[in-house]
Amino acid sequence: MALQKKHAKGRLDKWYKLAKEKGYRARAAFKLIQLNRKYGFLEKSKVLLDLCAAPGSWCQVAAETMPANSLIIGVDLAPIKPIPKVITFQSDITTEKCRATIRQHLKTWKADTVLHDGAPNVGTAWVQDSFNQAELALQSMKLATEFLIEGGTFVTKVFRSKEYNKLLWVFNQLFTKVEATKPPSSRNVSAEIFVVARGFKAPKHLDPRFLDPKTVFAETVEAAPNNEAKVFNPEIKKRKRGGYEEGDYTQFKELPASEFIDTTDPIAILSTYNKLSFKQDRNGNVALAALDRMPETTEEIRTCCADLRVLGRKDFKMLLKWRLKAREAFGLPTKNTKKPEVSEVSEEVAEVESMDEELKIQEELQALKDKDSAKRKRERRRENELRQKDIVRMQLHMVAPMDIGMEQAGPIGQDAMFSLKPVDKKEAVSKISKGKMALLSESERRNQDSGIGTSPDSDSEESDEEEDYLERELDDFYDQYKERKSERDAKYRAKKSRKEYEDGEWEGVSADEQESSDEGELEEDSSDESDEDEDDSTPTKRLITDLDNEPSESGGLSKRAKNFFSQDIFKDIPGILDEPEPEPEPEAGGVDEEMVDVEEAPRAKESKPTSTKEPKKKTPKQKKKAVAAEEQSSDSEPDKNKSFEIAKRKQDDVEMWEDEDKRRPDGTYDIDIITAEAMTLAHQLATGEKTKYDMMDEGFNKHAFKDRDGIPEWFLDDESRHDRPQKPITKAAAAAIKEKLRALNARPIKKVREAKARKKFHTAQRLEKLKKKSDLLAADEAMTEKEKADSIQRLMGRATRAAAKKQQRPQPRLVVARGINRGVKGRPKGVKGRYKIVDARMKKELRAQKRIAKRK
Ligand SMILES: C[S@@+](CC[C@H](N)C(=O)[O-])C[C@H]1O[C@@H](n2cnc3c(N)ncnc32)[C@H](O)[C@@H]1O
């Protein structure tokens, strides 16, 4: 028989998990569900009494299954958290108070079903426990007889013990049908069994002895067994794995300790029996007496023998050792004794030992398996969590689908098994084709040394994962915080949307340079090799070719830099791109794009003088602008000498661009300086206080080379707010910018300007109309000159009157809010036309102001 798992986790079986899933407070819920499925008593009940109901899973099941508006009452020694549609209270079901409270709740009603799943506190001596359980079942039976309706059902838990049959007998007297069953959700190792007693007979008079534990569980005197005869000649018992021995329904089993010493299967005894006794009968027991006197039979051994069910592995081991010592003392064969003549017995002993070891191995194996599966489960759960989060982020448009799933770690992603990118990067193809495996392993070794590619031990892996998890959590919280902030802050929203519309961050040439330098390193290695392998001078081909762009070598610049500078905005900036003279095309705008040969670029440059050449004479103002232009061009100074590929644009695009391009007739840029820093810089450059080389020097500062890799976003965001380069400003520049802004603010807003323009336009239209009319009148030959003059005068008068009328809008009438007007809402009585309610003081003040104005 397998040993029962003692640790708590062994009890977290499928019913436990199911209960958690379904929201039941205990796995016991399934016991009632299964009992009800078999007997169907809940659906028929309108009133139910649940004795010993805590934590309340049976009440939950009852509330779910019973008809609506049913009365469910639950009682327990322990408090029960409220359950919808269930009345619960705390009480001891063996007390009179509990009986009275139930009566109070039931009023005149009777219960259709009484449930009892009580279990007294176990852990004391087994005998005591079993008796208490049976007594509790009888007690609940007593309550049932008082509150059950005739024909009602009583369900109770009992333990298979000596009292079991006596209890069954009582139930049979009071119910028409009594059945004992063990639902599948009840653990096999548990001795509990459920009795479903249906058809309560509801006798008018009940003999109190039926419900008196003393009478019901009265001991029947049994003849003492003759154990003495069995001590050294035990009958070989076949263990029944399927259940209980024929005719043996008792749970508590006691065995003389001498039999444990004598047996060939001590494990079976330890797992079947409850007690090893040292008690001798009246005739005495030689073996037991010897055992009792042995010095190895310590007090600890005696305590262990008293209740085998509460022992752990260590205790069992101790008992087994004690047995071996006793066997040695009694001259019985043990593993160590070498007596060939009692080979049969020694074989048996050996078998016992092997069983012990086998058990141990099995246990260890099981433990390993459990550990492994728990680890895998943890990993799976973590992965699922990550995936879930990614999906949520994607739904919130925080990440693109490219960043998750297949695209990243899939067939072509960076983590993919068949990804060619890393292989390609390291120029591994050439090395593999050369057969120089040593080189690859060398680089691998380097990686390993630096910790890349080595598999860290599981502990650090776990802590890394935990850290990653925490970081992700933090990132999520930060994202949520940003979302919340963006909802409140309009400025932040604008910033965010600007970010969203950005093309993507340009990391500058350095990132690519880094990449190329990496490549360079490897190339260096390979060049060493090529010294030896001179015949391998053929250029190596890359595994992956970029279909979007030309290879970077052709342009001299890195691919990303070239893409950046090939944008339209750089087209006309002199010194950045060496743009060739556009080829005269017969149909401009018809061709979209044409690649110009890279070699031709310098030639084109020669043919067209670039605007970087400074004009010989400049006014200070022009000089300032030119300096600004130069400033721009100096940014791309290092790229000047390199040849680019230039893409032609549509003619329309060029025109549009030229419209936007703010240039003065003399070719200089019309740049608006709007910050005090820019103004100061422009001034310094214009006065020669600073040169472009100074500016380049200043570009190499602590802010230019910040390493942002692996730094969390929230940190960068916060830092960027405070850690900024502070550029100097002069007082004059600050004042100039302030003035400029004031002028800008003084301008009317667009709507006002539009309204004024409209007014002007309408007046011009009216004048035009008048002019036409007067021309017609003047051309009329039928009219005399005087008539013509009068008519024109009238026309003009009408127009001026209309205009004057429009201008003279009557001022609103001021009505004082006092007397009958105090607190009036809406138009005051007797007031016509426009009005304004004012208080007396305001009226007085207005009058005074008018008087003063008149006097002036
Ligand atoms: C196995 S639990 C009952 C589980 C319950 N049927 C459920 O589904 O959640 C046994 C309960 O019996 C209770 N109990 C034991 N003796 C009791 C007594 N004398 N009066 C009331 N409740 C008792 C214990 O407090 C314990 O909560």
Distance 80 CA to ligand 1 centre (A): 10
Token code pair at residue 824? 């009036």
Cβ–ligand 1 contact at 54 (below 6 Å):
yes
How confident is the model over 103-126, as pLDDT tens digits?
999 988 999 999 999 887 654 445
Burial annotation 158-196 (CB, 10 A radius, 16+ → b, else e) = bbbbbbbebbbebbeebbeebeeebbebbeeeebbbbbb
pLDDT score of 241: 58
Mean local confidence (pLDDT), 707-736:
84
Q: What is the pLDDT of the chain when averaged over all its residues?
A: 71
Give the per-residue pLDDT at 573.
Answer: 60
Decide: 122 in ligand 1 pocket, CB within 6 A.
no
Question: Is the Cβ–Cβ distance between 232 and 106 less than 8 Å?
Answer: no
- Residue 149's pLDDT is 93
Q: Contact, 178 vs 163, CB < 8 A?
A: no
Q: How far is CA 27 from CA 41, 59, 113, 319, in A?
A: 20, 13, 21, 35
* Tens-digit pLDDT profile for residues 490-537: 666 676 666 655 444 444 444 444 444 444 443 444 444 444 444 444
pLDDT digits (tens, 9 = 90+) for 304-318: 898 888 887 778 888
Query: Does the CB atom of residue 76 touch ligand 1 within 6 A?
Result: yes
Helix (H, G, I), strand (E, B) or coil at 165: helix
Question: Is residue 447 predicted with pLDDT exceeding 80?
Answer: no
Expressed in angstroms, the distance from the first to the final Cα of the chain is 120
Quote the ligand 1 centre to 46 CA distance (angstroms): 23
Ligand 1: atom nearest CA of 61 is 8
The answer on pLDDT for 617 being more than 50 is no
Per residue in 660-701, pLDDT (tens digit) is 455 667 666 667 777 888 889 988 999 999 998 988 888 888
> Is 53 near ligand 1, meaning CB less than 6 Å away?
yes
Q: Could you tell me the distance, in angstroms and rounded to a whole number, from the CA of residue 76 to the centre of ligand 1?
A: 6
Quote the pLDDT of residue 460.
Answer: 52
Give me the pLDDT at residue 442, please. Answer: 46
Question: Alpha-carbon distance 90 to 76, whole Å?
Answer: 5
Q: Is 79 in the pocket of ligand 1 (CB under 6 A)?
A: no
**DSSP sequence for 586-627:** SSTTTS---BPPTTHHHHHHHHS--TTSPPSS--HHHHHHHH
Closest CA to 139 of 226, 51, 232: 51
Which H or E run contains 157? strand 148-159
157 part of the active site: yes
Which position has the higher pLDDT, 83 or 444? 83
- Angstrom CA distances, 677 to 482, 622, 623, 695, 731, stand at 30, 19, 18, 13, 11
Q: Is the CB of 140 under 6 A from ligand 1?
A: no
User: Distance between CA atoms of 248 and 240, rounded to whole angstroms?
Assistant: 11
d(CA 73, CA 87): 5
The rounded Å distance from CA 547 to ligand 1 centre is 74
pLDDT for residue 324: 87
Would the CB of 74 count as within 6 Å of ligand 1?
Answer: no
pLDDT in tens, 563-616: 666 666 666 665 554 544 444 444 444 333 333 343 444 444 444 444 444 444
Q: What is the rounded CA–CA span in Å between residue 508 and residue 108?
A: 88
Q: Is the CB of 77 under 6 A from ligand 1?
A: yes
Q: Give yes or no for residue 101 CB within 6 A of ligand 1.
A: no
Which atom, in ligand 1's list, is nearest to the CA of 94? Answer: 19
Output phi, psi for 745, to 5 deg: -70, -25
* Average pLDDT rounded to a whole number, residues 656-661: 45
Q: Which position has the token pair 């003047």?
A: 778
427 compared with 197, residue with greater pLDDT: 197
CB 93 within 8 A of CB 146: no
SS3 706: coil
Do the Cβ atoms of 268 and 238 come closer than 8 Å?
A: no
Q: How far is the centre of ligand 1, averaged over its atoms, from the C-alpha of 32 (Å)?
A: 14
Contact 651, 589 (CB under 8 A): yes
**Pick from 505, 513, 533, 456: which is nearest to 638 by CA?**
513
**How many Å lie between the centroid of ligand 1 and the Cα of residue 18?**
21
Question: With the C-alpha atoms ordered 493, 495, 501, 503, is the resulting torsion angle positive or negative?
Answer: negative
Best of 24, 31, 77 for a ligand 1 pocket test (most atoms within 8 Å of beta carbon): 77
Please say whether the beta carbons of 313 and 267 come within 8 A: no
Classified as helix, coil or strand, 677 is helix
Q: Which one is predicted more confidently, 479 or 434?
A: 479
| Ligand 1 centroid to residue 150 C-alpha, Å | 26
* Alpha carbon of 118 to ligand 1 centroid (Å): 4
Q: How far is 255 from 194, CA to CA, in rounded Å?
A: 28
pLDDT at 648 over 50: no
- Cα gap 712→472, rounded to integer Å: 10
Q: Which atom of ligand 1 is nearest to the CA of 118?
A: 12
Residue nearest to atom 27 of ligand 1 (CA): 54
Ordered alpha helix ranges (H), 175-224: 213-216
- Number of other residues whose CB lies within 10 A of the CB of residue 583: 10
Q: Nearest residue CA, atom 19 of ligand 1?
A: 92
Q: Which of 52, 129, 135 to mutate to test the pocket of ligand 1 (most atoms within 8 A of CB)?
A: 52
Q: What is the DSSP letter of 669?
A: B
Kindly state the tokens that stand for 755. 């309204």
Location of structure tokens 């048996």: 348
Check if the beta carbon of residue 625 is closer than 8 Å to that of residue 619: no
Q: Which atom of ligand 1 is nearest to the CA of 54?
A: 27
- Residues belonging to the binding site for S-adenosyl-L-methionine are 56, 58, 76, 92, 117
The length of the chain is 856
What's the confidence (pLDDT) of residue 35? 93
The average pLDDT across 217-245 equals 54
pLDDT confidence bin for 448, thresholds 50/70/90: very low
Tell which one of 76, 93, 99, 116 to mutate to probe ligand 1, the residue whose CB is within 8 A of the most ligand atoms. 76
Q: Give the residue, by CA position, lying nearest to ligand 1 atom 12.
A: 118
810 vs 53, residue with greater confidence: 53
Strands in 188-308 per DSSP E: 192-200, 254-256, 275-277
CA distance linking residue 175 with residue 152, whole number of Å: 9
564 or 725: which carries more pLDDT confidence? 725
Q: Relative to the CA of 50, which ligand 1 atom is closest?
A: 6
d(CA 308, CA 324): 18
Q: What is the pLDDT of residue 363?
A: 73
Buried b (16+ CB within 10 A) or exposed e, 673-690: beebbbbbbbbbbbeeeb
Instruction: Give 73 Cα–ligand 1 centroid separation in angstroms.
Output: 14
Q: Residue 122: its pLDDT value, please?
A: 55
Is the pLDDT score of 88 beyond 90? yes
Q: Which helix (H) or strand (E) holds 433?
A: helix 428-434
Note the pLDDT tens digit of each residue in 29-84. 999 999 999 999 999 999 999 999 999 999 999 999 999 889 999 999 889 999 99
Atom of ligand 1 nearest to the CA of 26: 9
Which atom of ligand 1 lies nearest, measured to the CA of 115? 6
pLDDT higher than 70, residue 458: no
**704-720 burial code (b ≥16 CB/10 A, e <16):** eeeeeeeeeeeeeeeee
What integer pLDDT is reported at residue 523 of this predicted model? 41
Question: Cα separation of 701 and 723, whole Å?
Answer: 12
**Integer Cα distance of 423 and 272 in angstroms:** 65
Which DSSP letter does residue 85 get?
T
Give the pLDDT of residue 463.
56
Q: Is the peptide bond preceding residue 551 cis, with omega within 30 degrees of 0?
A: no
ipTM confidence score = 0.99
Three-class SS of 780-824: CCCCCHHHHHHHHHHHHHHHHHHHHHHHCCCCCEEEECCHHHCCC
Would the CB of 89 count as within 6 Å of ligand 1? no
- The active-site residue, picked from 157, 275, 625, 690, is 157
**Which residue, among 135, 54, 128, has the nearest Cα to 94 in the 3D structure?**
135
Distance 207 CA to ligand 1 centre (A): 27
Residue 819 is predicted with a pLDDT of 76
62 lines ligand 1 (CB under 6 A): no
**8 A C-beta contact, residue 614 and residue 625:** no
For range 714-739, the mean pLDDT: 86
Helix (H/G/I), strand (E/B), else coil: 557: coil
Q: Are 149 and 45 in contact (CB under 8 A)?
A: no
Of these ranges, 73-77, 495-499, 783-787, 839-843, the one predicted with the greatest mean pLDDT is 73-77
Q: Does residue 831 register a pLDDT over 60?
A: yes
Q: What local confidence, expressed as pLDDT, does residue 314 receive?
A: 79
**Once rounded to an integer, what is the mean pLDDT over residues 203-211?**
83
% of the chain exceeding 90 in pLDDT: 15
**Ligand 1 touching residue 27 (CB < 6 A):** no
What atom of ligand 1 comes closest to residue 59's alpha carbon? 8
Query: Environment class of residue 73 by beta-carbon count within 10 Å: exposed (0-12), middle (13-18) or buried (19+)?
Result: buried
Which range is least confidently modeled, 189-198, 604-613, 832-841? 604-613
Residue 702 is classified by DSSP as T
**Is the CB–ligand 1 distance for residue 274 below 6 Å?**
no
Both tokens of 773, joined, read 């009319």
Give binding residues as ranges.
56, 58, 76, 92, 117
For residue 255, what are the β-bridge partners? 276
Q: For atom 5 of ligand 1, which residue has the closest CA?
A: 53
The residue-averaged pLDDT of 13-30 equals: 87
Query: In angstroms, what is the span from residue 78 Cα to ligand 1's centroid?
Result: 7
Cβ atoms of 48 and 36 within 8 Å: the answer is no
Q: How confident is the model at residue 482 (pLDDT cuts 50, 70, 90)?
A: confident
Q: Are strands 148-159 and 192-200 parallel, antiparallel or unpaired?
A: antiparallel
52 lines ligand 1 (CB under 6 A): yes
> What is the reported pLDDT for 438?
43
Read off the pLDDT of residues 144-166 as tens digits, 9 standing for 90 and up.
999 999 999 999 998 877 788 88
**C-alpha–C-alpha distance, residues 818 and 107, integer Å:** 71
Q: Measured from the CB, is residue 163 less than 6 Å from ligand 1?
A: no
Q: For 236-264, what is the mean pLDDT?
A: 70
Q: Is 141 exposed, middle or buried (0-12, 13-18, 19+ CB in 10 A)?
A: buried
Q: How far is 320 from 266, CA to CA, in rounded Å?
A: 7
